[in-house]
Structure 1
Amino acid sequence: MLFPTPGLSSADEAVLAEVDRMREELRYQLQSVPAVWVGGLRKFLTADAVSASNSIEGFKVSTVDVEDLLAGERDVEVSDENRAETSAYARMMTYIQSLHDVADFEYGVGFLNALHWMLQGHRHSPRKPAGQWRRGPVYVTDARDPSIAAYTAPDVERVPGLMRELVDWLNTPTDAHPLVAAAMGHLHLVSIHPWADGNGRMSRSLQTLMIAREGVIAPEFSSIEAWLGRPGNTWEYYQVLGRRGSVYRPDQDVAEWIRFSLTAYHQQAQTVHARVERSRRVWDGAAEYLQAAGSDERIVSALHDVAMAGRVRRTRYEQAEGLNTQQAQRDLREMVRREVLVPVGRTRARYYAAGPRFPEHVLETARTPSVLVDPYADRT
């Protein structure tokens, strides 16, 4: 038995309508900006989701470091463990994103286990097999006292049947809004906890896949993992899940989970809208500066990365603009000569940061924080 999908309150309906409106606006907005700029934003959002979801599980790699790892940089100062977890999750996330428009796609037990192998295969062991259902009990321990089980997953004998039921549910058309269905998919999978490890990231990834399959906007814009990875939100995430009880009870009302998920969708949409607007203003400001300085306007992507992320590497700039190594090096050296950029580090580990002549108004735009509103404020 799985959790029944709860009905929506009038407040839920209003919040959901606002999320739909923001997502549609974003889709049209992205059609009117430079492709290289959108490509950079998509890479950032993917890296941000990977960084955030891994951080929930204790693997700490900054978004900019994830971006560098995804770009193929080897000299990134992260531990071997964090590098392995980042690479595995990014590989799975990239595959999930590629499935957004596959015509004959369907969910299956083998498919979910294959995704799990992509995530956990580097940790496969007889005690914690990857790509296979767990072989024994699994517990979620209390953050305050690891000797206490905050949640005990269903008995191992029930896992195959529950997962077949979940797969059937995933493949059955529903009247529920796709965002609500995706939230329920997350809840079903994380509650069954079918694997020995990696259940949280698999559940968040399933939600991302279900949203991407909806097809409203590009899959990179479909994840709420970055929102869930913020410390306060992570704490509330665990609290909401914890209030389901310490054992699997699918015969309960999970309206609170839907409200929490709708808040996440709404505030992540706000965040992406703010990022898009701030990024666009940074791009335009950097382009105007380069034009006035008589520099090649393609360098705008490098200045944009420095303003938004604090640094740019030669390979990132090279890939963004489709340049060869010599062209990229020449452009960056020219910016160093003009003191717009300063090199940091040596040889392959080198990156470029803002120099003393970097346009201050561009940096100020990038540093301006956005304000998030509670979508349920003043709603009953």
Structure 2
Amino acid sequence: MLFPTPALTAADLHVLEQIDVMRQRLRHLVQGAPAPWEDRLRTFLTADAVAASNTIEGFRVSTIDAQDLIAGERDVEVSAEDREETLAYQRMMTYVQTLHDVSDFSFDKGLLNGMHWMLQGHRHTPRRPSGQWRPGPVYVTDPRDPSVAAYTAPDADQVPGLMGELVDWLNQDDGEAALVRAAIAHLNLVSIHPWSDGNGRMSRSLQTLLIAREGVLAPEFSSIEAWLGRPGNTWEYYRQLGDRGSQYQPDQDVGDWVRFNLLAYHQQAQTVQGRWDRSAAVWDLLEPAVQRLGQESRTISALHEVAMTGRIRRVRYEQAEGLSTQQAQRDLRDLVALGVLVASGRTRARTYVAGPGFPERALETARTPMTLTDPYRSAPA
């Protein structure tokens, strides 16, 4: 038995309608003429999702370090374990993103176990296998006392049947809203806990895959993992899961779980829209500034990266503009000489941050925080 999809309230339907409007607006922007900074925004959103989802599980890599790791940088100051977990999750998420428009796609146990191997294959042992159902019991311990089981998953011999039921449900088209269906899929998978490890990230990835398969937004714009990874939201995420009970109890109303996810969808859409708008505004401010500095127009992308993320490395600039190493080094050296950028670190690990001559209005625009609204506060009762 799986968790049933609850009936939506008037407030839920109102919020869902608002989310659809925002996502359609973003889709129109994404499908329009390509913005010069769009690829970097996609990379940022992917890195943000990877970093946040791993942070929930205790692996600490910042979004900007995740971006550098994904770009192939070797000299990033993170632990070997955090590096491996970041790259493994990025590989699995990249695969998820490629599945969004596969014409003959279907869910099956092999797909889910294959995704799990991408995520956890580097941790495979006979006792804790990757890419196959767990052979024994699994517990989620209480963070306040690891000797206490906050949740005990179904017995291992129940897992194949429950996963077969989940796969059948995933392949049905019952007319439910895709975002609601994705939230229920997440809850079902994380509650079955079919693997020895990696169940949380797999469940969040499954949710992203279902949203991406809907086809409204490109996969990079579809994940709520970055929202879930914010400290206060992570606490509420665990509370919501904890409210389901200490054992597998699918015969219950999970309307509050759906509302939690609708809030996440809404606020993540606000966040992505805000970053899109700031990216556009910062680029528009940097174009005339670069002209005044007498620099090549391609250097706008380097300054844009610094404004939006805080720093840039030579390799990322080189890749973004298709430059030779010598060209990229020369451009960055010229910007340092002008005081626009400041270099820090050894040659291979050198980063560039804003210097005293960096266009101030662009920095102010990039650093101005946005305010997120709670759509349920204005929704009908």
Q: TM-score, normalised by structure 1?
A: 0.98
Cα separation, 1, equivalents of 2:324 and 2:155: 56
Q: 1:128 to 1:234 in 2, by over 3 A?
A: same
1:125 maps to a residue whose letter is T
Q: Does residue 300 in structure 1 map to residue 300 in structure 2?
A: yes
Segment of structure 1 superposing worse, 39-48 or 145-154: 145-154
**What SS does the aligned partner of 2:298 have?**
helix
1:216 maps to a residue whose letter is V
The offset of 1:31, in angstroms, is 3.7
Cα separation, 2, equivalents of 1:216 and 1:135: 38
The offset of 1:292, in angstroms, is 2.4
The offset of 1:35, in angstroms, is 4.1
The offset of 1:231, in angstroms, is 0.4
User: Does the CA contact (< 8 Å) of 1:26 and 1:273 recur in 2?
Assistant: yes
Cα separation, 2, equivalents of 1:31 and 1:286: 24
Partner of 2:376: 376
Partner of 1:231: 231
User: Does the CA contact (< 8 Å) of 1:141 and 1:147 recur in 2?
Assistant: yes
Partner of 1:86: 86
Q: Does residue 148 in structure 1 map to residue 148 in structure 2?
A: yes
For 1:86-116, what per-residue CA distance to the aligned partner results, in whole angstroms no more than 9, with x for missing partners? Answer: 0100000001001110101111101100100
User: Does the CA contact (< 8 Å) of 1:151 and 1:245 recur in 2?
Assistant: yes
Partner of 2:119: 119
For 1:178-237, what per-residue CA distance to the aligned partner results, in whole angstroms no more than 9, with x for missing partners? Answer: 111100110110000000000000000000000011111111000000000000000000
Match runs of 1:159-308 below 5 Å? 159-308=159-308
Segment of structure 1 superposing worse, 358-367 or 13-22: 358-367
For 1:260-280, what per-residue CA distance to the aligned partner results, in whole angstroms no more than 9, with x for missing partners? Answer: 000000000011111111111
Segment of structure 1 superposing worse, 22-31 or 157-166: 22-31
The offset of 1:287, in angstroms, is 1.3
**What SS does the aligned partner of 1:342 have?**
strand
Partner of 2:28: 28
The offset of 1:171, in angstroms, is 0.8
The offset of 1:321, in angstroms, is 1.0
The offset of 1:36, in angstroms, is 3.5
Cα separation, 1, equivalents of 2:203 and 2:217: 21
Partner of 1:69: 69
Aligned residues: 380
1:363 maps to a residue whose letter is L
**What SS does the aligned partner of 1:349 have?**
coil
The offset of 1:378, in angstroms, is 3.6
**What SS does the aligned partner of 1:176 have?**
coil
For 1:151-170, what per-residue CA distance to the aligned partner results, in whole angstroms no more than 9, with x for missing partners? Answer: 11011110000001101111
Partner of 2:48: 48
1:46 maps to a residue whose letter is T
For 1:329-349, what per-residue CA distance to the aligned partner results, in whole angstroms no more than 9, with x for missing partners? Answer: 111111111111111111111
2:200 maps to a residue whose letter is G
Partner of 2:361: 361
**What SS does the aligned partner of 2:101 have?**
coil
For 1:233-265, what per-residue CA distance to the aligned partner results, in whole angstroms no more than 9, with x for missing partners? Answer: 000000011111111111111111100000000
The offset of 1:351, in angstroms, is 1.2
Q: Does residue 135 in structure 1 map to residue 135 in structure 2?
A: yes
Cα separation, 1, equivalents of 2:304 and 2:125: 44
The offset of 1:27, in angstroms, is 1.2
Cα separation, 2, equivalents of 1:266 and 1:163: 30
Cα separation, 2, equivalents of 1:107 and 1:35: 34
1:4 maps to a residue whose letter is P
Cα separation, 1, equivalents of 2:93 and 2:145: 32
Match runs of 1:93-104 below 5 Å? 93-104=93-104
**What SS does the aligned partner of 1:347 have?**
coil
Q: State the identity as a percent.
A: 68
The offset of 1:32, in angstroms, is 4.3
**What SS does the aligned partner of 1:99 have?**
helix
The offset of 1:47, in angstroms, is 0.1
**What SS does the aligned partner of 1:8 have?**
coil
User: Does the CA contact (< 8 Å) of 1:36 and 1:320 recur in 2?
Assistant: no
2:194 maps to a residue whose letter is P
Cα separation, 2, equivalents of 1:181 and 1:298: 43
For 1:257-309, what per-residue CA distance to the aligned partner results, in whole angstroms no more than 9, with x for missing partners? Answer: 10000000000001111111111111111112112222211111100111111
* Superposition misfits of 4+ residues, deviation over 3 angstroms: 31-36
The offset of 1:362, in angstroms, is 1.0
**What SS does the aligned partner of 1:73 have?**
coil
**What SS does the aligned partner of 2:54 have?**
helix
Cα separation, 2, equivalents of 1:362 and 1:9: 43
**What SS does the aligned partner of 1:154 have?**
coil
Q: TM-score, normalised by structure 2?
A: 0.98
1:97 maps to a residue whose letter is Q
- Where does the alignment leave 5 or more consecutive residues of structure 1 unmatched? none
Q: Does residue 17 in structure 1 map to residue 22 in structure 2?
A: no
Cα separation, 1, equivalents of 2:197 and 2:118: 13
CA RMSD of aligned residues (A): 1.0
User: Does the CA contact (< 8 Å) of 1:208 and 1:224 recur in 2?
Assistant: yes
